[in-house]
Amino acid sequence: MSRRAHVFVAGNVQGVFYRATTRDEARDRNVAGWVRNLSDGRVEAVFEGPESKVQEMVEWCHEGSPAATVEDVTVTYEPPEGLESFDIKR
């Protein structure tokens, strides 16, 4: 079953390779979606794919890249949109 998670991550998550590591982790799991920095210092991401793999990515967001300090993760689940790749949005 396919699932879509829309995630907002707060903390020291910009300038610490959070987006690049998120992309690599998602691609390793064959999860589609995107990740981007927000002007308020948070990172926003969308993950689409098999329910178990999407849940793994949501759980991964609580740790993030080795240099990140994650303070809060907010997740909402939405209907999948059929994304096919994982990209970093600018």
User: For the segment 10-65, what is each residue's pLDDT rounded down to a tens digit?
Assistant: 999 999 999 999 999 999 999 999 999 999 999 999 999 999 999 999 999 999 99
- The pair phi, psi for residue 14, each rounded to 5°, is -115, 140
Show which residues are catalytic: 19, 37
Q: Which positions ≥6 away from 62 have C-beta within 8 Å?
A: 70, 73
Q: Which positions ≥6 away from 15 have C-beta within 8 Å?
A: none
> 2-84: what fold?
Alpha-Beta Plaits (3.30.70)
Q: Which positions ≥6 away from 36 have C-beta within 8 Å?
A: 19, 43, 44, 45, 88, 89, 90
- Asked if residue 1 has pLDDT above 90, the reply is no
Global pTM? 0.96
